[in-house]
Every structure is written in structure tokens, then in C-alpha cells.
Amino acid sequence: MTRIAVLVKDIPDLNEVRIDPSTRRPQAEAAKRRLNDLDKRALEAAIRMKETGGAEVITVSLGDGRTKTSVLEALAMGADAAYILSDPVFKGLDANATSRVLGSAIGKVGAVDVIVAGELALDGMGSQVGPRVAELLGVPQVTYVKELRLEAGKYRAVRDLEDVDEVVEVEPPFLVTVVREVNEPRIPSLINIMKAKKKPITEWNAEALGLKTEELKASSRVEVADVQVPEVKRKRIMIKEEKVGDAVAKLVSALSAEGALEG
């Protein structure tokens, strides 16, 4: 049977992330977690292939104790099993090291025909992990896919290259990254939400994946020193005139003095 692995990531709900006014740093830890939108579309693409041609769909996630809630949503959508990679050493890894962890997990899972991932994660927007996993596993990659289906034993993908579409045929094993236009993810039914709790969830740490802490940290080449939102200062200038024309004239004069109307 065809086996499809989907890389899914749970991210903070960006609508719930608050900014600490004293430090200008985002407070993401208190926000609820949810599946990355493009990863849900990757999962939907895998499930549709399962429904048309028959397949086992598994998800692979790098996360922590809170990741299970998001993974249950993936199982409710139609995934058959889930793998969560959780270890304190995984926290703060860059795309290169993260790809090593995910690639090691897929290798441990066993033979996989198709790997599907979102083009990017909305919390980092790096577009690095999917292609790096493909390189580590030594499989072809097809990026920016907006259509993917199985035809006569071959997978046909349509790539969105902005000005043109490119049609690609590829045979397993391979990895694809999908864009938003690929589909609209389904909303799980109540009965499938209940069934999800009975599906297998496997958790692996670094030792189980055969990864050494020192080597993994050394492979993480990007260090984020700090994250702050831009400081915005308002001059709070109020223009009060009885006549609209006079108010507009003063406003234009003030904007010109600030250089806002140049060009």
C-alpha cells in the first residue's frame, strides 16, 4: 500500500499573540496552538490521494507536550497515525537542524512513497524545511504545487511559478511542498473527532532517533538573538479649524513638512 507522510507543525494562533509593551517582545507562549494553515492543506492533499487511490497517511511533527492537541485535529481530518518528535534539545533549532530531526524520523518510520509539506510555516515563513528534508533523504522534490493527483500510476503536479504553471510528472519516492491554492481543508465531523482519540500516536526523543545532542546543536547554524516589534511613536498632532478647507490646508502643510508627500 502507498504510504504518505505529511509534515505538520503546530504554531501559536497569531490572533492571540500579544505584545509586551515594556519589552516589545511577542508573548507567544500564552497563545493557543493550532495546525499551520499550509500544513493542513498538505494533509488535505494527502487524504484526497488516499480516498482516490488508497494509501496510509501518517503525520510527523516536531513539537512538545502541547503538540498532541493539534495532532488530534490532523487525525480527525483523516490521518491514520501520528508521530511527535519531542525533546528539550529540539527547542530553538533552525531549519537545517529541524530538517535533520524530521528526516531521521521519516527514515525510522520506514518506506514512504510520498512526503507532503506546506510551502512555509506562518510563524517563521522560511520555506526551508521541506526542501532540506528532501535533500537529506535523497529524493526528488517538487515545490510550489497547487495541484497534485495520481494518474496511471504516476503523480502529476502543477507548480505555481507566478507567471506560468509548470506540469510535472514524478514517480515515488518524492517530496512536494504545496501552496494555499492547492485546496480548502475539510472540517472534521464529530464522529471523526471521537475516532481520532483511538488512533496511534508515537512519541520519539533524540535518543530514539539516534541523534546526538552535540551534533544536532552544531548543525543549527542560525541563532535568533531577539524578536521585537518595531517601536511606533506618534506625535499626536491635532488640527482644529472651523472650516474644512483650512483644516485640509494645515494637514497638507504638516504632511509636507514631514516629507510624507514627496514623490
pLDDT given at position 190: 94
Q: How many CB atoms lie within 10 A of CB 234?
A: 5
Residue from 40, 44, 41 nearest 52 by CA: 44
Distance between CA atoms of residues 157 and 149, nearest Å: 7
Overall average pLDDT of the 82-92 stretch: 92
Helix (H) or strand (E) holding 50: helix 37-53
Does 263 lie in the same domain as 162? Answer: no
For residues 3 and 55, is the Cβ–Cβ distance under 8 A? yes
Is residue 133 a part of any domain in this protein? yes
Does 174 lie in the same domain as 141? Answer: yes
Domain region containing 250? 233-263
Which of residues 110 and 47 earns the better pLDDT score? 47
Query: Which residue reads 502529476 in cell numbers?
Result: 156
Does 258 lie in the same domain as 199? Answer: no
- Enter the pTM of the model: 0.83
Is residue 228 a part of any domain in this protein? no
pLDDT given at position 238: 85
Query: Which residue reads 517538487 in cell numbers?
Result: 142
For residues 124 and 93, is the Cβ–Cβ distance under 8 A? no
Overall average pLDDT of the 7-12 stretch: 89
Overall average pLDDT of the 220-224 stretch: 78
Amino acid type, 206: A
Distance between CA atoms of residues 189 and 43, nearest Å: 16
Is residue 225 a part of any domain in this protein? no
Is residue 83 a part of any domain in this protein? yes
Is residue 108 a part of any domain in this protein? yes
Does 164 lie in the same domain as 39? Answer: yes
Peptide bond into 185 cis (omega under 30): no
Is residue 30 a part of any domain in this protein? yes
Does 28 lie in the same domain as 82? Answer: yes
Does 30 lie in the same domain as 100? Answer: yes
Distance between CA atoms of residues 49 and 35, nearest Å: 20
Angle in degrees, 0-180, between the axes of helices 129-137 and 95-109, rounded to the nearest 10: 50
Q: How many CB atoms lie within 10 A of CB 33?
A: 18
Distance between CA atoms of residues 68 and 196, nearest Å: 11
Does 151 lie in the same domain as 26? Answer: yes
Beta strands 3-7 and 18-19 are unpaired
Is residue 227 a part of any domain in this protein? no
Does 237 lie in the same domain as 191? Answer: no
Does 38 lie in the same domain as 73? Answer: yes
Domain holding 123: CATH number? 3.40.50.620
pLDDT given at position 66: 86
Share of residues in the chain with pLDDT > 90 (%): 56
Does 242 lie in the same domain as 132? Answer: no
Is residue 11 a part of any domain in this protein? yes
Q: What would the DSSP string read from start to end of 68-83? A: HHHHHHHHHHT-SEEE
pLDDT given at position 263: 60
Answer left, alpha or beta for residue 131, where phi above 0 means left and psi between -120 and 50 means alpha: alpha
Does 95 lie in the same domain as 8? Answer: yes
Does 250 lie in the same domain as 179? Answer: no
Distance between CA atoms of residues 80 and 238, nearest Å: 61
Counting the structural domains of the chain, the total is 2
